[in-house]
Amino acid sequence: MTFPDITADLAARMPGLRGRLLANQELAPFTWLRVGGPAQALFTPADTEDLAYFLKHLPADIPVMVIGLASNMIIRDGGIPGVVIRFSPRAFGQIAIEDGHRIRAGAFAADRKVAIEAANAGIGGLEFLFGIPGSIGGALRMNAGTRSNTNPEIEGETRERFVSATAVTRAGDIVSLTPDDMKFAYRTCGVPADTIFTEAVFQGFACPVDEVQAINARVQEHREKDQETKVRTAGSTFKNPPGHSSWRLIRDAGGLDLRVGQAEMSKKHANFLIAHEGASAADIEGLGEEIRALVKASSGVELEWEVKRVGVA
Ligand SMILES: Cc1cc2nc3c(=O)[nH]c(=O)nc-3n(C[C@H](O)[C@H](O)[C@H](O)COP(=O)(O)OP(=O)(O)OC[C@H]3O[C@@H](n4cnc5c(N)ncnc54)[C@H](O)[C@@H]3O)c2cc1C
């Protein structure tokens, strides 16, 4: 699948652009599931001002979406029309320790790296990020968090540590966001979908370095015990419906035996789906939809996708 090349026209409208704009770029290698078609145009901004300039000059009818580390995303096989924005670690991956046990992180900083830097600086409270394989931008959008039935010290959610964020709106304005602006809820936030986070500040607390490092290690142990860590997944496929666990609903509905093409449900964690070599996005999404139908028929509960499905089939 190839889209018409819109990059020459866009570049002509934006003589001051400093970032890189490329046509028909494959996205699958950037994703955890390793599936999906290309971006019609892929833009890598030089910095926040460059991103704002780009969005200000981008015609309003061209859709824009941002991807982080694509650990919570199925990109469909036909790819993504319009512009996909993906940051570079050099421009948006910085992490800085600030006074008062605060940590400032670029939107493309890996969650795990933020947890490591916090630990090295003797800052507690961000250990929950250690086991989440996404970026800070994705953590803000998804209100990413870690839950454990057995060990409360490894639990936490992005909203609990959030102080402020910088973002660029679709109109190209650079804005500062407070906790109220974020409207965090379970695995989502209320900021308009086309607003792009560029950095955030989090509040931790003083804690001895070896204690924070030990909690990070326990986060890792918890993951390895209960989750698939060595295969291609997108983490929890569905949100937990109020009063239910998705994995239990899927198991009780007999979903563990389902397979579509090269995609199947995990036997270790029933809410994870696994993409085997050769799986297509259609296999993975098709499996998810079969699971939803099965659970609805057996329990009456409608599962809601936690994984974002983007692009065209
Ligand atoms: C093995 C595994 C385990 C996981 N465990 C957990 C877990 O315990 N807890 C949990 O919460 N999640 C978990 N996840 C899911 C995923 O890691 C999180 O949702 C993560 O926050 C997504 O970050 P990302 O950078 O990969 O975002 P992406 O998948 O790239 O994007 C997710 C959404 O965020 C948006 N987004 C990304 N960057 C930005 C930005 N800069 N500005 C605005 N929007 C942005 C995207 O447009 C998209 O809507 C797991 C995933 C895997 C593969």
Whether residue 236 lies in the annotated active site:
yes
DSSP state of 238: B
Is the CB of 182 within 6 Å of ligand 1?
no
Q: What is the CATH number of domain 246-310?
A: 3.90.78.10
Taking the CA of residue 114 as centre, how many other CA atoms within 13 Å lie in the half-sphere pointing to its CB?
Answer: 37
Q: How far is the CA of 14 from the centre of ligand 1 (A)?
A: 30
Is the CB of 274 within 6 Å of ligand 1?
no
| pLDDT value at residue 225 | 86
CB 156 within 8 A of CB 128: yes
- How far from chain centre, in Å, is Cα 271? 17
User: What backbone phi and psi angles, to 5 degrees, belong to 151?
Assistant: -140, 90
Q: How far is the CA of 138 from the centre of ligand 1 (A)?
A: 4
Which of 255, 269, 266 minimizes the C-alpha distance to 226? 269
Please report how the helices 209-226 and 111-120 are oriented relative to each other, as an axis angle in degrees rounded to 10. 150
CATH says 90-226 is which class? Answer: alpha beta
CA distance 116 to 280: 34
Q: Please report, for residues 96, 123, 175, 255, the alpha-carbon distance to residue 215 in angstroms, rounded to integers and kept in the order given.
A: 21, 12, 34, 34
Q: What is the CATH number of domain 7-86?
A: 3.30.43.10
| pLDDT value at residue 190 | 98
Q: How far is the CA of 12 from the centre of ligand 1 (A)?
A: 33
Residues of the chain with pLDDT under 50: none
CA distance 19 to 83: 13
Q: What ipTM is given for this predicted complex?
A: 0.99
Is the CB of 72 within 6 Å of ligand 1?
yes
> What 3-state class would DSSP assign to 294?
helix
Domain boundaries, the chain: 7-86, 90-226, 246-310
H or E segment and range at residue 209: helix 209-226
Is the CB of 110 within 6 Å of ligand 1?
no
CB 24 within 8 A of CB 2: yes
Residue of 71, 135, 236, 280 marked catalytic: 236
Taking the CA of residue 1 as centre, how many other CA atoms within 13 Å lie in the half-sphere pointing to its CB?
Answer: 17
Q: How far is the CA of 116 from the centre of ligand 1 (A)?
A: 18
Give pLDDT tens digits for 103-139. Answer: 999 999 999 999 999 999 999 999 999 999 999 999 9
Q: Pocket of ligand 1, candidates 33, 34, 142: which has the most ligand atoms within 8 Å of its Cβ, to mutate?
A: 142
68 is written with which tokens?
């982080």
Is the CB of 67 within 6 Å of ligand 1?
yes
> What 3-state class would DSSP assign to 24?
strand
| pLDDT value at residue 147 | 85
| pLDDT value at residue 226 | 82
| pLDDT value at residue 227 | 84
Whether residue 306 lies in the annotated active site:
yes
| pLDDT value at residue 208 | 98
User: What backbone phi and psi angles, to 5 degrees, belong to 163?
Assistant: -110, -55
Atom of ligand 1 lying closest to residue 195 CA: 43
Q: How far is the CA of 8 from the centre of ligand 1 (A)?
A: 31
